[in-house]
């Protein structure tokens, strides 16, 4: 892990979650995969959600580094060659803010390379759609799978729609994608369910962790949740509260991006 100039590090940057169990199975699992793939690098972690960081400190006394705190920690540890891999889904606001924060330290490290988020090109979309098809082998023509993405108002426009189109192109018109905060919204899923009339609708997060959105907006008992709205229409629902980070096929995408960045 030592070079002539100092240590080699890898920084995993995540939004974070206050749900301990999903953190263990997703963020921690991605970090473990990165650590295994780069045994010559010391693993560090940073979370970007100030709300989650504050909540964990106040309720559980747990502290996770912000990006500036992680960068300062690595400087103290004499890390000079840094590889950064975000666990973000898209190159949206969170990812762009992360890049800006890290670039402030560009002249304080010998080398900083940053990997891409999960969905960055057509290869990634192909890998994701293939993974989802394998993850849900029980899906058949009589059932439907609705995936809940977060959504972004920024430069990621069109990615969710293209994923939806890709499922249809692969012969899976019963797999549809919506987002909880932006477009495409839930109305499209409800319209397709009304048209296809599936016997059962699986609901699953198209997010790295199964956190607040998955637990509440998707699977919650409130009348506005996806589950409640579908059940009021007479559909039988099955909620799959597993974040994408739980699946080895997804973790491999992050490892591949980090490996590509290291070669730059």
Q: Is 53 helix (H, G, I), strand (E, B) or coil?
A: helix
Q: How far apart are CA 150 and CA 178, in angstroms?
A: 8
Q: Is 63 among the residues known to form the active site?
A: no
Q: How far apart are CA 23 and CA 80, in angstroms?
A: 29
Question: Active site residue: 150, 182, 213, 257, which one?
Answer: 150
Q: How many Cα atoms occupy the beta-carbon half-sphere of 144 within 13 Å?
A: 24
Burial of 146 from C-beta contacts in 10 A (0-12 / 13-18 / 19+): buried
Residue given tokens 């597993």 in the structure block: 242
Q: Which long-range contacts (CB under 8 A, 24 or more apart) does 163-166 make?
A: 163/119, 163/125, 163/128, 163/129, 163/206, 166/125, 166/126, 166/129
Q: How far apart are CA 209 and CA 17, in angstroms?
A: 7
Q: Is 143 helix (H, G, I), strand (E, B) or coil?
A: strand
Catalytic residues, by residue number, are 150
């Amino acid at each position: 892990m030592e070079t002539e100039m100092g240590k080699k590090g890898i920084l995993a940057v995540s939004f974070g979650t206050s749900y301990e169990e999903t953190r263990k199975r997703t963020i921690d699992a991605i970090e473990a995969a990165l650590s295994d793939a780069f045994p010559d690098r010391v693993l560090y972690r940073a979370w970007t959600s100030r709300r989650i960081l504050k909540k964990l400190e106040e309720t559980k006394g747990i502290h996770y580094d912000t990006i500036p705190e992680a960068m300062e920690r690595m400087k103290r540890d004499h890390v000079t060659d840094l590889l950064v891999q975000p666990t973000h889904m898209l190159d949206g606001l969170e990812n762009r803010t992360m890049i800006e924060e890290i670039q402030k330290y560009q002249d304080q490290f010998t080398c900083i390379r940053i990997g891409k988020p999960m969905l960055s090109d057509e290869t990634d979309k192909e890998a994701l759609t293939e993974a989802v098809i394998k993850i849900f082998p029980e899906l058949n023509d009589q059932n439907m799978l609705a995936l809940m993405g977060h959504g972004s108002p920024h430069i990621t426009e069109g990615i969710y729609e293209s994923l939806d189109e890709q499922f249809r192109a692969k012969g899976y018109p019963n797999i549809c994608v919506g987002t909880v905060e932006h477009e495409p919204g839930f109305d499209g899923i409800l319209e397709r369910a009304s048209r296809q009339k599936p016997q059962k609708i699986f609901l699953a997060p198209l997010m790295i962790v199964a956190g607040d959105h998955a637990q509440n907006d998707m699977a919650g008992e409130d009348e506005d949740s996806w589950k409640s709205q579908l059940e009021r229409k007479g559909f039988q629902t099955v909620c799959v509260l597993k974040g994408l980070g739980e699946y080895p096929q997804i973790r491999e995408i992050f490892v591949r991006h980090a490996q590509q960045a290291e070669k730059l």
